[in-house]
């Protein structure tokens, strides 16, 4: 399913993405990140914000567009991306979506989405699952026991 972003929504989500980029201007990437496979953080933050907004629009849930510095993450880590229980995961190139063990047992719901390049004016909703069910069908990652990947074919249609 494709969600089209209206101009005023685009403006708002872009602003949130840029504010997230600026809030973490001085933060280094985790050691396991492969820089050669990554896009620049400014683009990634804007795309992620578009994805969250699209899921909120589709589900009719509230999107706060929250922004904080990584050093404050512990204060807000229990706030869902959308509404009270929706976690949005952007998929860019991998045919799978990441899930983390720290989010099991919290009553969350996972949405996998793809921001359509180059301008992110539309977002493709790839699928969804209750978070705990997603963990059950996930496969190990090659860098962390706490992060696993759910193949997209395991997700239910939106």
pTM for the model stands at 0.93
> Which of helix, strand or coil describes residue 61?
coil
User: What would the two tokens of residue 122 be?
Assistant: 């539309």
Q: What is the pLDDT of residue 97?
A: 96
CA 27 – CA 6 distance, rounded (Å): 31
Buried b / exposed e along 110-148 (16+ C-beta atoms within 10 A): bbbbbbbeeebeebbbbbbbebbebbeebeebeeeeebb
What are 18-75's pLDDT values in tens digits?
Answer: 999 999 888 776 666 666 667 889 999 999 999 999 999 999 999 999 999 888 988 9
Backbone angles phi, psi at 115, to 5 degrees: -75, 130
Distance CA 134, CA 148 (A): 10
Q: Could you list the beta-strand ranges (E) of 8-119.
A: 86-90, 96-100, 109-115
Q: Angle, nearest 10°, between helix axes 41-59 and 7-23? A: 130
Grade residue 77 by pLDDT with cuts at 50, 70 and 90: confident
């Amino acid at each position: 399913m494709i969600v089209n972003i209206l101009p005023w929504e685009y403006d708002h989500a872009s602003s949130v993405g840029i504010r997230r980029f600026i809030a973490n201007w001085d933060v280094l990437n985790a050691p396991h990140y492969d820089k050669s496979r990554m896009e620049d953080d400014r683009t990634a933050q804007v795309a992620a914000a578009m994805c969250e907004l699209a899921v909120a629009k589709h589900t009719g849930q509230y999107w706060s567009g929250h922004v904080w510095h990584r050093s404050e993450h512990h204060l807000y880590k229990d706030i869902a991306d959308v509404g009270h229980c929706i976690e949005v995961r952007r998929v860019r190139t991998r045919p799978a979506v990441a899930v983390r063990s720290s989010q099991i047992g919290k009553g969350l719901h996972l949405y996998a989405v793809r921001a359509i390049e180059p301008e992110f004016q539309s977002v493709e909703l790839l699928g969804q699952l209750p978070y705990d069910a997603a963990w059950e069908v996930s496969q190990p990652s090659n860098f962390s026991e706490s992060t696993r990947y759910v193949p997209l074919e395991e997700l239910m249609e939106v």
